[in-house]
Amino acid sequence: MSLTTTAQPTPRTQPTRTIAFVAYPGLTLLDLVGPLQVFSALQSLRDGFRVVVAGERLRVMGTDTPLDVVPDSTFAYTTDPYAVVVPGGLVSTLSAMADQRLLDGIRRVAANAEVVGSVCTGSLLLGAAGLLDGRRATTHWMFRDLLTAFGATPVAERWVEDGPYLTAAGVSAGIDMALHLVSRLTDEQTAREIQLLIEYDPQPPFGGIDWGTVDIESHAPVAQRFLTEALTGHPDLLALLRG
């Protein structure tokens, strides 16, 4: 049963706005389905919104879990979306920074979008596509400094807005970013209703992350190992990201 079956849609007052999520092989599943669930709830609650998942082709794509995904649209048929959201991942996403067909697809769907968003390392794909030059942005804390290679200014925040760009930090931050965007597109009451419907009320058993005690530098060798594994066949890009 849908989480939103009891909600009553409001009358249509504006043209339908499409929220397009980008899919590609190896993405982190929660990066995609977290904000996708938020906007699917919005589509059920309020008229005037349409959610699609777009990929290069309509095909089964693996994720970083045992669960595969299949996009319901392609870049070619996802024309003029209101908002675009690019999920991230680990080695597959780092490798995708060198995938010109994927980057071309992202540029295509983002070209006329009012909002261009990302979750986690999805912002590195936006950067590789040339979309974050001169912008403030964030990504997963382990790879945040890589944004400078694409002319962006890394910011250690849960989500960052700069003009039409809205980037979220790692994985679960995509849900926060999506609720924030819903409030922008509608109102705070609607965003709060969706938060209630999906029962998004984080209470981690060990408390929140104390960022003041996190030794990010100690994780740098792990990040470099992932980067090297992902871009061994692309030495120029690897050298750029290593600074």
Helix 188-197 and helix 29-45, axial crossing angle in degrees, nearest 10: 120
**Residues contacting residue 233 through CB under 8 Å, at least 6 positions apart:** 98
Q: Partners of 85 in the beta sheet?
A: 21, 117
- Catalytic residues, which ones? 120
Question: Tokens 């003041």 label which residue?
Answer: 212
Dist CA 110 CA 54 (whole Å): 12
Please tell me what DSSP assigns to residue 9: P
**The dihedral of CA 55, 58, 59, 64: what is its sign?**
positive
φ, ψ of residue 166 in degrees (nearest 5): -135, 105
Dist CA 152 CA 91 (whole Å): 21
